[in-house]
Homo-oligomer: A and B are copies of this chain.
Amino acid sequence: MPNGDAPSFEWADEHAGRMGYGPLSILIRKLLNHSLLSTSDQQAIAGLPHIVKRAETGDSILREGDRADICPVLLSGFVYRQKVASDGGRQIVALKMPGDALDFQSIFLPTADHDVRALTPATLALVPLKAIEQLTIASAGIARAVLVDILIESSIGREWLLNIGRRNALARLAHLLCELHDRVNEIASARSGNFRVPLTQEQLADLLGLTPVHINRMLRQLEQMGAIGRPSRSLTILNFPKLAQISSFSSTYLHRNNPSGV
């Protein structure tokens, strides 16, 4: 049982229920970031049957090999996908933000190929896959929005491959922080500086294909450059432009267009 002290990164809660759409309104908001949805589409999503559930840090939400029949939607908190190598080495292969659906994939691919775990305390809406599948069949607009979501995650994955494969440790770390900065600003109303990154050094290492020790040294370097701050045991972005310069960051791969601009 968690005590009542919610950690940061619960912005989703600010919006829960807004627009009269209930918990799933955050999913609608997220989809509207890149896709157009008719009022009836939005109502259909809001009306999806679901159970709200709480997950604590580290909890497993989906396991490799599972055959899921529900699709969790992240209402608040952060979550990651991971794969584990035979020698025990772990690689985090995706980070998901509030409003993201975590397992559209299981609609079509029966067995999960990776784990999903809570990065921070999180709240989830568990939606039956059947219900989502029916919605995508009933509405081309919703099908489209779901697909765009999947395509953007793929695009991010490709950028990560470039990041891990071709950048040195410092640039790699800076690049990840830039992406986090941009993605978080997408859901929270943007306040450019200062954002507390909810990742331990070990998690950063598993995200970037490095070791915790080396992450520590690179963080210190970024701190000395004034790019980040590290009050007590946390990590904040202080100078986004500097991070972007170090990593040659360009956000085009995030595909954040206003959908009207089609």
Contact = CB atoms under 8 A, between A and B. Distances in A.
Given A110-B262, A111-B252, A255-B113, A93 B161 contact: yes
Nearest to A261: B110
A93 to B, nearest CB: 4
Interface residues of A, number: 47
Interface stretch (A45-53, A146-154, A234-242): A146-154
Contacts of A93: 158, 161-162
15 contacts: A83-B162, A85-B166, A91-B161, A91-B165, A93-B158, A108-B144, A109-B151, A111-B252, A111-B255, A113-B255, A147-B150, A150-B151, A154-B154, A161-B161, A165-B208
Residue picked from A114, A151, A253, most chain B C-beta under 10 Å: A151
Contacts of A187: none
Interface string A118-159: 000000000000000000010010011001101111110111
Contact of A150 (B144, B154, B161, B253): B154
Contact of A109 (B87, B91, B148, B208): B148
Contact of A157 (B85, B143, B157, B255): B157
A161 B160 contact: yes
Interface of A: 81, 83, 85-87, 89-91, 93-94, 105, 108-111, 113-114, 137, 140, 143-144, 147-148, 150-155, 157-162, 164-167, 208-209, 248, 252-253, 255, 257, 262
Q: How many copies does the complex hold?
A: 2
Nearest to A158: B93
A151 B159 CA distance: 17
B110 A151 contact: no
B255 A109 contact: yes
B162 A91 contact: yes
A164 B148 CA distance: 26
A144 B137 CA distance: 10
Given A90-B166, A151-B105, A154-B153, A248 B110 contact: no
Nearest to A207: B165
Contacts of A81: 158
A174 B231 CA distance: 43
Contact of A152 (B89, B109, B111): B109
A142 to B, nearest CB: 12
A255 B165 CA distance: 25
Nearest to A157: B157
